[in-house]
Amino acid sequence: MNNAIRTNTGLRILLAGFFLSVLLTACAEVPLTKRQGLRLVPQSELLQMSFQQYDKVLKESKLSNHTEKAQTVKRVGQKVAVAAEQFLNDSGLSSDLNNYKWDFNLIEDDKTVNAWCMPGGKVAVYTGILPYTQDENGLAVVIAHEVAHAIANHGNERMSQGLLVQMGGLAFSVALKDQPQKTTNLYLMAYGLGANVGILLPYSRLHETEADHIGLMIMARAGYDPNGAVTFWERMNAKAGSRPPEFLSTHPAPDTRIADIKTFIPEAMPYYHKAP
Protein backbone atom coordinates (compact mmCIF):
# COMPACT_ATOMS: atom_id res chain seq x y z
CA MET A 1 0.00 0.00 0.00
CA ASN A 2 1.54 3.32 -1.01
CA ASN A 3 1.71 6.40 1.23
CA ALA A 4 -1.17 8.19 -0.51
CA ILE A 5 -3.54 5.27 0.02
CA ARG A 6 -2.44 4.95 3.65
CA THR A 7 -3.02 8.67 4.18
CA ASN A 8 -6.51 8.60 2.64
CA THR A 9 -7.47 5.49 4.61
CA GLY A 10 -6.21 6.99 7.83
CA LEU A 11 -8.08 10.23 7.14
CA ARG A 12 -11.33 8.36 6.53
CA ILE A 13 -10.90 6.44 9.76
CA LEU A 14 -10.24 9.65 11.69
CA LEU A 15 -13.26 11.36 10.15
CA ALA A 16 -15.48 8.36 10.85
CA GLY A 17 -14.27 8.27 14.44
CA PHE A 18 -14.89 12.00 14.86
CA PHE A 19 -18.36 11.74 13.33
CA LEU A 20 -19.20 8.79 15.60
CA SER A 21 -18.03 10.71 18.67
CA VAL A 22 -20.24 13.66 17.70
CA LEU A 23 -23.25 11.38 17.36
CA LEU A 24 -22.58 9.73 20.70
CA THR A 25 -22.27 13.06 22.54
CA ALA A 26 -25.44 14.28 20.82
CA CYS A 27 -27.55 11.50 22.31
CA ALA A 28 -29.80 12.00 25.32
CA GLU A 29 -32.00 9.71 27.38
CA VAL A 30 -35.75 9.47 26.82
CA PRO A 31 -37.62 9.57 30.14
CA LEU A 32 -39.37 6.39 31.25
CA THR A 33 -37.99 4.16 28.50
CA LYS A 34 -34.34 5.23 29.08
CA ARG A 35 -33.60 4.90 25.37
CA GLN A 36 -30.78 7.04 23.95
CA GLY A 37 -32.11 9.41 21.29
CA LEU A 38 -30.18 11.56 18.80
CA ARG A 39 -30.46 15.32 19.42
CA LEU A 40 -28.27 17.46 17.22
CA VAL A 41 -30.38 20.62 17.53
CA PRO A 42 -29.88 22.77 20.66
CA GLN A 43 -33.06 23.22 22.66
CA SER A 44 -32.71 27.01 22.64
CA GLU A 45 -32.75 27.07 18.83
CA LEU A 46 -35.74 24.72 18.67
CA LEU A 47 -37.68 26.87 21.12
CA GLN A 48 -37.02 30.01 19.10
CA MET A 49 -38.20 28.31 15.93
CA SER A 50 -41.19 26.83 17.76
CA PHE A 51 -42.52 30.12 19.06
CA GLN A 52 -42.10 31.76 15.64
CA GLN A 53 -43.83 28.96 13.76
CA TYR A 54 -46.62 28.60 16.32
CA ASP A 55 -47.49 32.30 16.04
CA LYS A 56 -47.42 31.96 12.25
CA VAL A 57 -49.76 28.94 12.30
CA LEU A 58 -52.24 30.71 14.55
CA LYS A 59 -52.25 33.81 12.35
CA GLU A 60 -52.80 31.77 9.19
CA SER A 61 -55.43 29.42 10.68
CA LYS A 62 -59.01 29.93 11.71
CA LEU A 63 -59.38 29.38 15.42
CA SER A 64 -62.62 27.71 16.43
CA ASN A 65 -65.34 30.10 17.55
CA HIS A 66 -67.15 27.27 19.32
CA THR A 67 -66.54 28.54 22.83
CA GLU A 68 -67.38 25.34 24.67
CA LYS A 69 -65.16 23.12 22.52
CA ALA A 70 -62.27 25.60 22.60
CA GLN A 71 -62.53 25.91 26.37
CA THR A 72 -62.60 22.13 26.72
CA VAL A 73 -59.34 21.87 24.78
CA LYS A 74 -57.75 24.50 27.03
CA ARG A 75 -59.10 22.90 30.21
CA VAL A 76 -57.92 19.40 29.32
CA GLY A 77 -54.66 20.82 28.03
CA GLN A 78 -53.89 22.65 31.25
CA LYS A 79 -54.57 19.53 33.32
CA VAL A 80 -52.29 17.54 31.05
CA ALA A 81 -49.63 20.28 31.30
CA VAL A 82 -49.62 20.12 35.10
CA ALA A 83 -49.34 16.33 34.94
CA ALA A 84 -46.54 16.56 32.36
CA GLU A 85 -44.57 18.86 34.63
CA GLN A 86 -45.07 16.41 37.51
CA PHE A 87 -43.81 13.64 35.25
CA LEU A 88 -40.71 15.64 34.27
CA ASN A 89 -40.00 16.50 37.89
CA ASP A 90 -40.35 12.88 39.01
CA SER A 91 -38.11 11.81 36.12
CA GLY A 92 -35.29 14.05 37.35
CA LEU A 93 -35.85 16.57 34.56
CA SER A 94 -37.02 19.55 36.59
CA SER A 95 -34.46 21.70 34.76
CA ASP A 96 -36.54 21.24 31.60
CA LEU A 97 -39.60 22.90 33.13
CA ASN A 98 -38.39 26.39 32.25
CA ASN A 99 -38.58 25.45 28.55
CA TYR A 100 -42.37 25.13 28.62
CA LYS A 101 -44.77 28.01 28.02
CA TRP A 102 -47.97 26.03 27.56
CA ASP A 103 -50.65 27.11 25.14
CA PHE A 104 -53.59 25.13 23.75
CA ASN A 105 -55.72 26.13 20.77
CA LEU A 106 -58.50 24.54 18.74
CA ILE A 107 -58.19 25.14 14.99
CA GLU A 108 -61.35 25.04 12.90
CA ASP A 109 -60.66 22.44 10.23
CA ASP A 110 -63.04 19.49 10.07
CA LYS A 111 -61.06 17.80 7.29
CA THR A 112 -57.84 17.59 9.28
CA VAL A 113 -57.74 14.73 11.76
CA ASN A 114 -54.65 15.84 13.60
CA ALA A 115 -53.04 17.40 16.66
CA TRP A 116 -49.46 18.34 17.47
CA CYS A 117 -47.21 19.75 20.16
CA MET A 118 -44.25 21.94 19.32
CA PRO A 119 -41.25 22.36 21.64
CA GLY A 120 -42.12 24.57 24.59
CA GLY A 121 -45.63 23.17 24.94
CA LYS A 122 -47.31 24.86 21.99
CA VAL A 123 -50.29 22.62 21.22
CA ALA A 124 -52.90 22.70 18.47
CA VAL A 125 -55.90 20.41 18.09
CA TYR A 126 -57.93 20.36 14.85
CA THR A 127 -61.71 20.06 14.97
CA GLY A 128 -61.47 17.10 12.59
CA ILE A 129 -60.21 14.87 15.39
CA LEU A 130 -63.04 15.67 17.82
CA PRO A 131 -65.45 13.03 16.40
CA TYR A 132 -62.78 10.46 17.31
CA THR A 133 -62.04 11.78 20.80
CA GLN A 134 -65.78 12.17 21.60
CA ASP A 135 -65.28 13.35 25.21
CA GLU A 136 -62.73 14.89 27.58
CA ASN A 137 -61.09 11.57 28.31
CA GLY A 138 -60.57 10.89 24.61
CA LEU A 139 -59.21 14.40 24.16
CA ALA A 140 -56.78 13.77 27.01
CA VAL A 141 -55.50 10.69 25.15
CA VAL A 142 -54.67 12.83 22.12
CA ILE A 143 -53.16 15.79 23.95
CA ALA A 144 -51.12 13.63 26.34
CA HIS A 145 -49.83 11.58 23.39
CA GLU A 146 -48.66 14.70 21.56
CA VAL A 147 -47.14 16.20 24.71
CA ALA A 148 -45.33 12.89 25.23
CA HIS A 149 -43.75 13.21 21.77
CA ALA A 150 -42.45 16.64 22.84
CA ILE A 151 -41.17 15.44 26.23
CA ALA A 152 -39.37 12.53 24.55
CA ASN A 153 -37.84 14.96 22.03
CA HIS A 154 -38.99 12.86 19.10
CA GLY A 155 -39.19 15.94 16.91
CA ASN A 156 -35.56 16.77 17.65
CA GLU A 157 -34.64 13.22 16.64
CA ARG A 158 -36.47 13.59 13.33
CA MET A 159 -34.90 17.01 12.76
CA SER A 160 -31.48 15.55 13.53
CA GLN A 161 -32.03 12.66 11.12
CA GLY A 162 -33.19 15.12 8.47
CA LEU A 163 -30.13 17.31 8.95
CA LEU A 164 -27.90 14.27 8.54
CA VAL A 165 -29.67 12.74 5.55
CA GLN A 166 -30.99 15.76 3.65
CA MET A 167 -28.51 18.49 4.57
CA GLY A 168 -25.25 16.64 5.07
CA GLY A 169 -25.11 17.05 8.84
CA LEU A 170 -25.18 20.85 8.85
CA ALA A 171 -25.69 22.50 12.22
CA PHE A 172 -29.27 23.75 12.60
CA SER A 173 -28.25 27.41 12.86
CA VAL A 174 -26.05 27.12 9.74
CA ALA A 175 -28.75 25.28 7.80
CA LEU A 176 -31.34 27.90 8.78
CA LYS A 177 -29.02 30.69 7.63
CA ASP A 178 -27.86 29.10 4.37
CA GLN A 179 -31.04 27.23 3.38
CA PRO A 180 -33.86 28.88 5.38
CA GLN A 181 -36.85 27.52 3.43
CA LYS A 182 -35.57 23.96 3.27
CA THR A 183 -34.74 24.02 6.99
CA THR A 184 -38.12 25.49 7.90
CA ASN A 185 -39.88 22.81 5.83
CA LEU A 186 -37.82 20.15 7.60
CA TYR A 187 -38.92 21.57 10.94
CA LEU A 188 -42.59 21.62 9.93
CA MET A 189 -42.40 18.03 8.73
CA ALA A 190 -40.62 16.90 11.89
CA TYR A 191 -43.30 18.36 14.14
CA GLY A 192 -46.35 17.11 12.29
CA LEU A 193 -47.28 20.14 10.22
CA GLY A 194 -46.53 18.28 7.01
CA ALA A 195 -49.75 19.38 5.29
CA ASN A 196 -48.10 22.78 4.80
CA VAL A 197 -45.27 21.33 2.74
CA GLY A 198 -46.90 18.34 1.11
CA ILE A 199 -45.26 15.57 3.11
CA LEU A 200 -45.07 14.38 6.71
CA LEU A 201 -42.08 12.66 8.24
CA PRO A 202 -43.57 9.61 9.91
CA TYR A 203 -42.90 8.88 13.53
CA SER A 204 -41.25 5.50 13.82
CA ARG A 205 -42.97 2.54 15.44
CA LEU A 206 -40.61 3.06 18.38
CA HIS A 207 -41.56 6.74 18.73
CA GLU A 208 -45.25 5.93 18.63
CA THR A 209 -44.89 3.25 21.30
CA GLU A 210 -42.91 5.62 23.51
CA ALA A 211 -45.50 8.38 23.09
CA ASP A 212 -48.30 5.92 23.91
CA HIS A 213 -46.43 4.76 27.02
CA ILE A 214 -45.46 8.20 28.33
CA GLY A 215 -48.84 9.65 27.33
CA LEU A 216 -50.69 7.10 29.44
CA MET A 217 -48.63 8.04 32.50
CA ILE A 218 -49.34 11.72 31.93
CA MET A 219 -53.08 11.43 31.33
CA ALA A 220 -53.44 9.17 34.37
CA ARG A 221 -51.68 11.77 36.54
CA ALA A 222 -54.11 14.35 35.14
CA GLY A 223 -57.04 12.27 36.38
CA TYR A 224 -58.12 10.70 33.10
CA ASP A 225 -58.77 6.97 32.76
CA PRO A 226 -55.95 5.33 30.73
CA ASN A 227 -58.42 2.68 29.52
CA GLY A 228 -59.85 5.40 27.30
CA ALA A 229 -56.76 5.09 25.11
CA VAL A 230 -57.87 1.64 23.99
CA THR A 231 -61.33 2.80 22.89
CA PHE A 232 -59.87 5.89 21.21
CA TRP A 233 -57.44 3.88 19.06
CA GLU A 234 -60.16 1.35 18.28
CA ARG A 235 -62.27 4.20 16.89
CA MET A 236 -59.32 5.55 14.93
CA ASN A 237 -58.62 2.13 13.44
CA ALA A 238 -62.25 1.53 12.56
CA LYS A 239 -62.65 4.86 10.76
CA ALA A 240 -59.19 5.22 9.21
CA GLY A 241 -60.06 3.31 6.03
CA SER A 242 -57.52 2.92 3.25
CA ARG A 243 -56.06 6.40 3.74
CA PRO A 244 -55.25 7.02 7.41
CA PRO A 245 -55.35 10.61 8.73
CA GLU A 246 -52.25 12.61 9.68
CA PHE A 247 -52.61 11.71 13.34
CA LEU A 248 -51.77 8.11 12.52
CA SER A 249 -48.39 9.39 11.26
CA THR A 250 -48.85 7.98 7.73
CA HIS A 251 -49.40 4.42 8.89
CA PRO A 252 -52.49 2.89 10.45
CA ALA A 253 -52.25 1.90 14.10
CA PRO A 254 -52.25 -1.91 14.08
CA ASP A 255 -53.79 -4.24 16.62
CA THR A 256 -50.34 -4.64 18.15
CA ARG A 257 -50.47 -0.99 19.17
CA ILE A 258 -53.63 -1.53 21.19
CA ALA A 259 -52.10 -4.67 22.66
CA ASP A 260 -49.05 -2.66 23.73
CA ILE A 261 -51.25 0.00 25.30
CA LYS A 262 -53.05 -2.65 27.30
CA THR A 263 -49.73 -3.79 28.74
CA PHE A 264 -48.92 -0.21 29.84
CA ILE A 265 -52.28 0.46 31.52
CA PRO A 266 -51.54 -1.42 34.80
CA GLU A 267 -48.48 0.81 35.25
CA ALA A 268 -50.58 3.93 34.74
CA MET A 269 -53.59 3.01 36.89
CA PRO A 270 -51.97 3.80 40.29
CA TYR A 271 -51.42 7.38 39.10
CA TYR A 272 -55.04 7.56 38.00
CA HIS A 273 -56.29 6.35 41.38
CA LYS A 274 -54.10 8.89 43.19
CA ALA A 275 -55.07 11.81 40.95
CA PRO A 276 -57.12 14.59 42.58
Q: What is the mean pLDDT of the chain?
A: 85
Active-site choice (85, 146, 208, 246) = 146
Q: How distant, in Å, are the alpha carbons of 64, 83, 107, 176 from that of 57?
A: 14, 26, 10, 19
**pLDDT tens, residue by residue, 105-136:** 999 999 999 999 999 999 999 999 999 999 99
Nearest to 212 by CA among 249, 154, 244, 260: 260
Does pTM surpass 0.85? Answer: no
208 is catalytic: no
pLDDT in tens, 6-16: 445 544 443 33
